[in-house]
Amino acid sequence: MRCERSVGKMKVTVVGAGNVGATVANVIAMKNFASEVVLLDIKEGVAEGKAMDMMQSAPMLGIDTMVTGVTKDYAATFGSKVVVITSGVPRKPGMSREDLIGTNAKIVREVAEEVLVYSPDAILIIISNPMDAMTYLTLKTTRLPRNRVLGLGGLLDSSRFKYYIARALHRAGIPATLTDVDGMVVGGHNDKTMVPLVSYAAYRGIPITKLLSPEAIEEAVKETKTGGATLTGLIGTSAWYAPGAAVATLVGAIVTDACKLIPCCVYLDGEYGEHDLCLGVPVILGATGVERIVDVSLEGGEKAAFKESVKAARETNAALTEALR
């Protein structure tokens, strides 16, 4: 496996200057691993204004990254190493991610084709919902190598899983912080299809099954699965702080060639016994994108849940095909 850490600062594009896109750009800028971030939107002045606001905070936050906002000017994205696609309609209360499939599919396909005109070697990160299907769509329509197309999913859901585990530990009298907790979610980025891996969850190396009751663990799993919907119900739209930070983490792993183990949505071609679909699994992420897919052992209920996730992903892909006819 190639993991040489020799990559310098470079250019990143974020398409979509809404809550998630703007947060992605801001977190990337604050981390100072890219030389330039281009924030692009279709609404006149929005990306320019948000980029200007970020840049005016730079002297106070020690930001060296240059953030530039543009309206529909894809030429400004020329030479991007990574392109993040957040474009599309966000969820509203009561909506599932799959409700967005027809509208967002057309938007994501057009954006992917446009950015590749100016950055043909870019690695694409898909955020738009339903994310697993949009990642699959992007891979199929662009015909890029599978290492260069990935979706957010797993990292965000894993972070939410850690949050709910830490909260359960607190309730059990164990003062855990989120950085004390290990937890991973695989499967679909969907309330019903994500698979929090309890068998791999731990508090400072101690399995949570030795610290929490089965009821507390079951509740943490349930809360993880409905975490996105919970936030949508509370704030009236999709979340943005945690998704933005998660995307920036993926970008950082690529730009710095970190070769980090991160769960995200990728195309499976034999891994986990599956073919021709995109689903969340752990991968090694580095300068070429997906360096390697890590095939972890799934047993019992987790294996069965993953199979159900595969089934649901195939059904969504079928609906995607129908929507694009």
pLDDT tens, position by position, 55-114: 999 999 999 999 999 999 999 999 999 999 999 866 566 555 556 677 788 899 999 999
Range of weakest confidence among 9-13, 134-138, 223-227: 9-13
* Strands, E assignment, 191-274: 194-196, 202-203, 206-207, 260-269
Contact 260, 119 (CB under 8 A): no
Three-class DSSP category at 126: strand
- Residue numbers annotated as active site: 189
Contact 240, 254 (CB under 8 A): no
The reply to whether 168 falls in a domain is no
What pLDDT was estimated at residue 320? 82
**Residues β-bridged to residue 286:** 289
What pLDDT was estimated at residue 5? 42
pLDDT tens, position by position, 237-247: 889 999 999 99
> What DSSP assignment string belongs to 26-46?
HHHHHHT--SEEEEEESSTTH
The reply to whether 109 falls in a domain is yes
pTM above 0.85, yes or no: yes
276 phi/psi in degrees, rounded to 5:
60, 50
The reply to whether 94 falls in a domain is yes
The reply to whether 114 falls in a domain is yes
Answer whether residue 235 shows pLDDT above 70. yes
* Strands, E assignment, the chain: 11-15, 36-41, 66-71, 82-85, 123-126, 149-151, 181-182, 185-187, 194-196, 202-203, 206-207, 260-269, 275-286, 289-293
The reply to whether 24 falls in a domain is yes
* Strands, E assignment, 137-184: 149-151, 181-182
- Tell me how far apart the alpha carbons of residues 8 and 215 are, in angstroms, rounded to a whole number: 48
SS3 content of the chain, % helix, strand, coil (to 5): 50, 20, 30
pLDDT tens, position by position, 120-133: 999 999 999 889 99
The reply to whether 120 falls in a domain is yes
Range of weakest confidence among 146-150, 263-267, 278-282, 317-321: 317-321
| Mean pLDDT for the stretch of residues 207-223 | 98
Mean pLDDT of the chain: 92
What pLDDT was estimated at residue 307? 96
Residue 115 domain boundaries: 11-152
Q: Which one, of 201, 219, 223, lies nearest residue 210 by Cα?
A: 201
- C-alpha torsion sign, points 20, 24, 29, 31: positive
Residue 64 sits in a domain whose CATH number is 3.40.50.720
Number of domains in the chain: 1
The reply to whether 309 falls in a domain is no
The reply to whether 183 falls in a domain is no
| Mean pLDDT for the stretch of residues 299-312 | 95
| Mean pLDDT for the stretch of residues 7-36 | 92
